[in-house]
Chains A and B, each alone.
Chain A
Amino acid sequence: MNDPYLILGVSREADDAAIQRAYLEGIKRAPPEHDPERFEALRGAYEALRTRRDRMAHALFNTSPPTGEDLLERAAPIGAATRPNLALMQGLLRGDP
């Protein structure tokens, strides 16, 4: 994922405090010893958006094209896990492809 707003899960209008809050919550859930990859992503996203100047610079100078993951996260973010219905489970047990 390239979009730091999506990585931190904040809106484009978020201010310094909201961004810091999201970052701290994020690293609490993904500490570096448990999920180093996610931690790095959060760290990078926070660095990119920390201040008003950083956010403006990101909007002007970040040229990374969107990734498929960006699109997925933007269009339909991951939500709560949903259990399959009985018919789908039976299909799975039957060996449906």
Chain B
Amino acid sequence: MKSKKRTKRQATPGQSSEELASAAQRHLDDGRFREAISAFKDLLKRAPSARWREGLAAAYAGRAKQLAAKGLLKEALVMWENRQQLGDVASFDPEQIALLLRVGKIGQVMDLYRDQGDRLPAATLAELRSYLAAYWLSGHHEIAAKLPPEDPILVHGDAARDALAAYCQGDDKALSEALAAIPFRSPYRDLAQLLKAIQRIPGQPREAAAMVARCNVSAGFAPLRQAAELALAPEHELTTRLAETGETTRRVALGLRGWDEARQALWLELAKLGQDPNPFALLRLMYRHQKQLGEDWVRQQALRLLINDYPESLRWLAKCGAVGPTMAERGLIAAWHAESKGDLWDALDTWRHYAALLREDGEPASGSDAGLRLALVLRRPESRLGILKRAEEGRSSDELAVEVVAAVGESLRYDPDDRDSYLALIRQYLATKRHKDARRVLEQALERWPEDVRLLTAAMDVAIATNAFKKAAGLARRVLELDPINSGVRERLVAAHLAHARKQIRARRTDLARRELAQAGDWANKETLREQLELTAAFIELTEDQPSGITSLQGLARRLGGGLAGALAVTLEGAALGHKPNVLLKSLGLAATKTKQPSDIQAFFSKLRGHLDAGHKLPPDVAGYFEKPLKASGGVTLSFQEAHSACETLRRAGLDGAREAFAKAALKRWRGAPIFELHAFEATYRGNYRNVSQQALLRLDAAIIRAMDEGDRRTAHRLRDLLMEADEARFGAMIAPPGPSLGEDADSDLEILRALVNVIGLDALLDTMPLSKQEKAQFKEMEREIGRDKLLELIISMKEDALDDDADDPFGDSDPWPPFPFPKAAPGGGKTTPKKKPGKRAAGKKKPPNQLDIF
């Protein structure tokens, strides 16, 4: 073994005894036993004391255990011997015995047992005996000669030996008899307990675990206890625990778990590959054990290991001595790889290519295995990537959807029993208004599953989409017969009747409209649905008898909350029947005006949210009508949550003028609140960010910092996205996004800057920046608003952005301050900063005079 060069021990003449004692105790507590030994020795030299000797004994014991754990057994023994030499103060430690037995110094142990046994505490003596008992049982019967015949190690030894042999031979009857001869106070007590426990492992693991837990952790039978624990360890802990265990314990434990030699050998090979094996290494191992694993299985699994490093990985099979991938296998791996990358077109293309390869052996028959395989492949882009659903939501191109529709349609030729494919096609045809195609597919599907609720619901949707309201109502009834608690269909049924009723009202066939409403009433089991029907009924009345209809609508508007809320309810139904909001409300004497009532505003937003949640849009004339009174009502007193919810609802409804009013009113109450800064900015500029003011941008920056400070990451990200969008609109996508980075720690920069500002003042710092007078004033205003620290953080984040821009030119003669958000007016007035290449400043641009490089 290489000898380590030891550093010369630090002399401690300068330290007082108190300081040294405190350092020694600290070393001991922290597990720095070498240092503790040295310190306690120094203390003993200064003044011999029982306290220092106890400390030194503990340090020796700690160091001995450390060394034994590293396998340095001899060195560990020296430490125990040193401890022993300290005299009575160092009581006998059972771990020392274990170590002596391990290195074969049985004579010393026997001397200790014989000479000092009587003087040891009872518990320590029991442990010492259990070590000797385990040693005797392990085949070292020579120690019997050194023990008196009445020693319990010998008295109970035969029974213990018989029990062990009976257990190993599987003779449970003999085992029970032998165990019965071992008394509770025997040194073999733990052995008896453990043998009973491991006997129960296969059938009664819980009982076994409880028995194991009752055995002594550190006594002579501890290795058997450790093996039993490992045999009972939960599956997810096993790999880690096996890696920390010696071979003998592992073999006993795994045998008890039902692992045969072959499994144990394979586990060892796998363990060498580490926790997260390299795919190629795993592939090689699989091919080495191909016979055990099965050739087909290895081939199938091998292909899956080739995805990550595709296409280079295609050579791996040959390197393992296997046949390289066939064309079809290559096609499959390519499709898996494309899918894992998430490129929709690529995935579609590769699956189509694989489908073509599957067809090379001829057109498969419908319903055959080959047909099913081809069908699954054809519909994979839809079933896995949901391209049609994405297209419906506008998240993928219509062109892509057309391709997928064709593939799914084709798949039904080979596997006509897949309901989901029919439904996906119907949904897509409905979304693209291909009603004839939708009906065709629906008929095919209903032929197969005439009572299927999802198909009948789809049929109802098709009927509604083609204005076949009667048919829709009939279909809805069929669905409800089959599935009486289907509330969605109930609502759709009411909506279908309602739509039909409106159609009749517009055609002035009010009797038919009433009939539709009566039918709808049979199904309307919710308050909101019944209110809706009452509103429609009042409009029928208005058509038949104007004065009476006006009275009914006025009464209903009052019942529905009056004020803005009632007006909205009446207007929405009126709009569905073709009434202009202003004309209608004027004739009803319900013209919407500014409100100061929080309850009215809350009722209004509740109604509006319900309308939007049902998937309806706010008709433009209704939106236009309510914009003005809502703007005027922005100052109404709402709680933070209510104001937030109001802004979100107004955003969804596209009422930006009103949103601006509500957000700005909220900012007066909750100064700088990030969510309202966001709404105010969005609603004020409405996507037109070319002429955004500097102050507005600075406010957004400050709002990001505050949102981050408050832990509101969602708002912080929304603000940052908004800022990027604004920046892009102003300068194109060439400049790195402004604003503080989310999650970077700028504490040290902040401290430096804070210290600097303390010395030179904020004015002097701002003088180092290329700012106009107005911009400096804006910064100072910001300081008042958000505080100095936040302002300095903002300055740091701007600086970081500038450095990010210059990342490819770290030593270039670039301007340390970004042009954004402080663009300089171009000569001649007009436009601001000209476009620049990303990450580059204009070459040769000089630093402004008086500019310090404080970073």
List the interface of chain A (C-beta within 8 A of B). Answer: 12, 37, 52-53, 56-57, 59-66, 68, 70-72, 74-86, 88-97
* A81 CA to B260 CA, complexed, in Å: 9
Asked if B257 and A81 make an inter-chain contact with CB atoms under 8 angstroms apart, the answer reads yes
> In angstroms, how far is the closest chain B Cβ from the Cβ of A29?
12
Residue numbers in A under 8 Å from B135 (CB-CB):
93-94
* A47 CA to B85 CA, complexed, in Å: 69
| Residues 239-254 of chain B, each 1 if its beta carbon lies under 8 Å from chain A, else 0 | 1000000111101100
Contact A63/B340 with A68-B270, A72-B267, A92-B223 known, Cβ cut-off 8 Å? yes
* A82 CA to B181 CA, complexed, in Å: 25
Asked if B248 and A74 make an inter-chain contact with CB atoms under 8 angstroms apart, the answer reads no
Additional A-B contact list (7), CB under 8 Å, known A74-B297, A78-B258: A56-B373, A59-B300, A63-B340, A76-B260, A84-B168, A92-B224, A94-B135
Closest B residue to A74 by CB, please name it.
Answer: B293
Among A74, A80, A81, A96, residue most surrounded by chain B Cβ atoms (within 10 Å) = A81
> In angstroms, how far is the closest chain B Cβ from the Cβ of A69?
8
Instruction: Kindly state whether residue B449 has any CB partner on chain A within 8 Å.
Output: no
* A86 CA to B138 CA, complexed, in Å: 9
Instruction: Kindly state whether residue B158 has any CB partner on chain A within 8 Å.
Output: no
Residue numbers in B under 8 Å from A78 (CB-CB):
257-259, 263
Asked if A83 and B168 make an inter-chain contact with CB atoms under 8 angstroms apart, the answer reads yes
Contact A92/B249 with A63-B340, A74-B293, A83-B255 known, Cβ cut-off 8 Å? yes
| Residues 162-192 of chain B, each 1 if its beta carbon lies under 8 Å from chain A, else 0 | 0011011010000000000000000000000
> In angstroms, how far is the closest chain B Cβ from the Cβ of A54?
10
Closest A residue to B191 by CB, please name it.
Answer: A93
* A71 CA to B265 CA, complexed, in Å: 12
Query: What 3 pairs across the A-B complex have the smallest Cβ distances?
Result: A76-B263, A97-B246, A94-B138
Q: List 23 A-B contacts (CB under 8 A).
A: A56-B369, A61-B336, A61-B376, A61-B384, A63-B304, A63-B340, A65-B282, A66-B301, A74-B294, A75-B289, A77-B263, A81-B202, A81-B255, A81-B257, A86-B164, A88-B248, A90-B137, A90-B139, A92-B224, A92-B248, A93-B223, A94-B101, A95-B223
Instruction: Kindly state whether residue B769 has any CB partner on chain A within 8 Å.
Output: no
| Residues 247-283 of chain B, each 1 if its beta carbon lies under 8 Å from chain A, else 0 | 1110110011111101100110010010001010010
Among A52, A95, A97, residue most surrounded by chain B Cβ atoms (within 10 Å) = A95
Residue numbers in A under 8 Å from B285 (CB-CB):
71
Contact A75/B292 with A82-B258, A93-B134, A94-B139 known, Cβ cut-off 8 Å? yes
Instruction: Kindly state whether residue B305 has any CB partner on chain A within 8 Å.
Output: yes
Residue numbers in B under 8 Å from A60 (CB-CB):
332, 373, 376-377, 380
Task: Count CB-based A-B contacts (< 8 Å).
Answer: 152
* A60 CA to B167 CA, complexed, in Å: 50
Among B140, B246, B301, B332, residue most surrounded by chain A Cβ atoms (within 10 Å) = B301
Contact A90/B138 with A71-B266, A75-B293 known, Cβ cut-off 8 Å? yes
Point out the residue from A65, A81, A85 that lies within 8 Å of B201, measured CB to CB.
A81
Contact A61/B263 with A71-B286, A74-B293, A80-B202 known, Cβ cut-off 8 Å? no
Asked if A53 and B263 make an inter-chain contact with CB atoms under 8 angstroms apart, the answer reads no
Residue numbers in A under 8 Å from B246 (CB-CB):
96-97
Closest B residue to A52 by CB, please name it.
Answer: B372
Contact A88/B373 with A66-B282, A79-B258, A83-B168 known, Cβ cut-off 8 Å? no
* A65 CA to B283 CA, complexed, in Å: 10
Instruction: Kindly state whether residue B462 has any CB partner on chain A within 8 Å.
Output: no
Asked if B266 and A76 make an inter-chain contact with CB atoms under 8 angstroms apart, the answer reads yes
Asked if B98 and A95 make an inter-chain contact with CB atoms under 8 angstroms apart, the answer reads yes
Point out the residue from B221, B372, B380 that lies within 8 Å of A61, measured CB to CB.
B380
Instruction: Kindly state whether residue B415 has any CB partner on chain A within 8 Å.
Output: yes
Residue numbers in B under 8 Å from A76 (CB-CB):
259-260, 262-263, 266, 292
Residue numbers in A under 8 Å from B137 (CB-CB):
90, 93
Residue numbers in B under 8 Å from A81 (CB-CB):
201-202, 231, 255-258
Closest A residue to B199 by CB, please name it.
Answer: A83
Residue numbers in B under 8 Å from A90 (CB-CB):
137-139
Point out the residue from B102, B258, B289 that lies within 8 Å of A71, measured CB to CB.
B289
Contact A75/B373 with A82-B256, A92-B249 known, Cβ cut-off 8 Å? no
* A77 CA to B292 CA, complexed, in Å: 11
Residue numbers in A under 8 Å from B524 (CB-CB):
none
* A94 CA to B134 CA, complexed, in Å: 7
> In angstroms, how far is the closest chain B Cβ from the Cβ of A88?
6
Point out the residue from B170, B231, B249, B376 that lies within 8 Å of A57, measured CB to CB.
B376
> In angstroms, how far is the closest chain B Cβ from the Cβ of A80?
6
Residue numbers in A under 8 Å from B256 (CB-CB):
81-84
* A90 CA to B168 CA, complexed, in Å: 11
* A8 CA to B102 CA, complexed, in Å: 45
Instruction: Kindly state whether residue B307 has any CB partner on chain A within 8 Å.
Output: yes
